[in-house]
Amino acid sequence: MAKSKYSILFEDNDIVVIDKPAGMLTIPDRFSPAENLRALLTSKYGQIFVVHRLDRETSGVLVFAKNADAHRNLSIQFENHTVTKIYSAVISGQLAEDELSIDIPLMPDPVHKGLMRPSARGKDSLTIMKVIERYRIATHVECDLRTGRQHQIRVHSASIGHPLLVDSLYGKSEAFLLSTIKRRYNLQKNEEEKPIISRITLHSKTLGFKHPSTGADVEFTSELPKDFKALLSVLRKYSAIPTITNKFQNSFKTIQ
């Protein structure tokens, strides 16, 4: 169950743009009775059309159509990969490149149902990854999703050896604890440590497309949620890279 309700970033007669909290389903899950955005919006508007989805634990911006014509128009834009989709992510380890193009085809995993895997037989999948900030144990990156395959950023990150810092499916961690990076972290007797973030470290930051009726370019942005900001804060405080190290790395790249 999501900790907070969704918020509406924009709406008119054709579309409604949502800021989805982590933990809320986009559409019903036959394995979970949890509330979902499609049902909530259908109850509010009478009818709603799903254009795209976000994973349950991914927060951020997504758009729904209010009528069939708008749905058809937006679906074509998504199919043609003309939609701008920018995500914020925190990945494990230090990404060496400042910008990296990950062009790795993906396909459904035939062994593990519901998962994806890299494969030459898969569909073309392209992610442009740019470094925002590096830490000793992680990197804050911005991902420009040029295609929209299921779990694309999660699989692409894992495939280059830098899975999301928190990702139980494609990485190794279900949560991030302060004790991971803070020395001499002590708990009181019988006290259980609360995680800084306990869902995948991925946020849908920006969504841009042509309005289905007017044709105007529109763009919507979702601010980083509290748990994501808290993670970045503790990484800066307890896992910062000394400035001299960054200067050395830049000099080394120039010499090469």
Burial of 210 (0-12, 13-18, 19+ CB in 10 A): middle
CA dist., res. 246 & res. 94, Å (int):
12
C-alpha pair distances (Å), 43 with each of 13, 37, 38, 239, 242: 16, 10, 9, 45, 52
How many C-beta atoms lie closer than 10 Å to residue 48's C-beta?
A: 20
Indicate which residue of 14, 55, 167, 227 is catalytic: 55
55 is catalytic: yes
Q: Are strands 59-65 and 15-20 parallel, antiparallel or unpaired?
A: antiparallel
CA dist., res. 64 & res. 76, Å (int):
14
CA dist., res. 169 & res. 12, Å (int):
37
The tokens for 192 are 């259980």
If DSSP codes are grouped into helix, strand and coil, which group holds residue 60? strand
Name which of 173, 203, 193, 197 is nearest 92 in CA terms. 173
Catalytic machinery residues: 55
